[in-house]
């Protein structure tokens, strides 16, 4: 019995190691009739960026990623392909940054881009899920 339990634990460990760092296709979870339920499939490729207040960091888009899902412990801004800044004046030229609200994680297409700049007005942890 102990050998069987050890084998099951070993198999679970191997599966978790093999799955870690594996990017999933971006798709909705479907019920048994094939109808989308509104949730996303999980991905095995998740990074975290720890931001200091008002200090932009550049995140390198992983090879093969077409979509990134952003969420954080507080509101933050992103700029795909440029340098993010915390807005301090009105911008009416289409060149501002995208706000990602704490209450509503966001998915963005990053196809053809190699980096995303992330910034927050306060210390924040941002998690980034990558999808094909």
Report the pLDDT value the prediction gives residue 48, as an integer from 0 to 100.
97
Contact 127, 71 (CB under 8 A): yes
Q: How far apart are CA 72 and CA 35, in angstroms?
A: 29
Average pLDDT of 85-92?
93
Partner residues linked to 18 by β-bridges: none
Report the pLDDT value the prediction gives residue 41, as an integer from 0 to 100.
73
Instruction: Write phi, then psi, for 59 (nearest 5 degrees).
Output: -105, 125
Average pLDDT of 24-42?
69
The better pLDDT of the pair 27, 8 is held by 27
Average pLDDT of 19-26?
62
* Residues 6+ away with beta carbon under 8 Å from 114: 60, 61, 81
* Mean pLDDT of the chain, nearest integer: 82
Report the pLDDT value the prediction gives residue 5, as an integer from 0 to 100.
39
pTM for the structure as a whole: 0.74
Average pLDDT of 30-39?
70
Domain at 119, CATH number: 2.60.120.10
Residue 118, domain extent: 2-131
pLDDT at 38 over 90: no
Q: How far apart are CA 110 and CA 120, in angstroms?
A: 20
CA 84 → CA 56, 93, 99, 118, distances in Å?
A: 6, 15, 10, 6
Report the pLDDT value the prediction gives residue 26, as an integer from 0 to 100.
66
Report the pLDDT value the prediction gives residue 6, as an integer from 0 to 100.
42
Give residue 15's pLDDT band: very low, low, confident or very high (50, 70, 90). very low
- What total number of domains does the chain contain? 1
């Amino acid at each position: 019995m102990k050998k069987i339990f050890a084998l099951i634990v070993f198999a679970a460990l191997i599966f978790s190691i093999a799955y870690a760092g594996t990017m999933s296709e971006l798709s909705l979870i479907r019920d048994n009739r094939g109808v989308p339920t509104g949730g996303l499939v999980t991905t095995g490729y998740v990074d975290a960026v720890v931001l200091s207040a008002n200090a932009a960091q550049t995140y390198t888009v992983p090879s093969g990623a077409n979509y990134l899902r952003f969420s954080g412990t507080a509101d933050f801004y992103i700029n795909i392909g440029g340098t993010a800044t915390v807005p301090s004046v009105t911008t009416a030229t289409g060149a501002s940054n995208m706000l990602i609200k704490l209450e509503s994680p966001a998915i963005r297409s990053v196809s053809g881009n190699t980096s995303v700049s992330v910034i927050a007005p306060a210390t924040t942890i941002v998690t980034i899920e990558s999808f094909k």
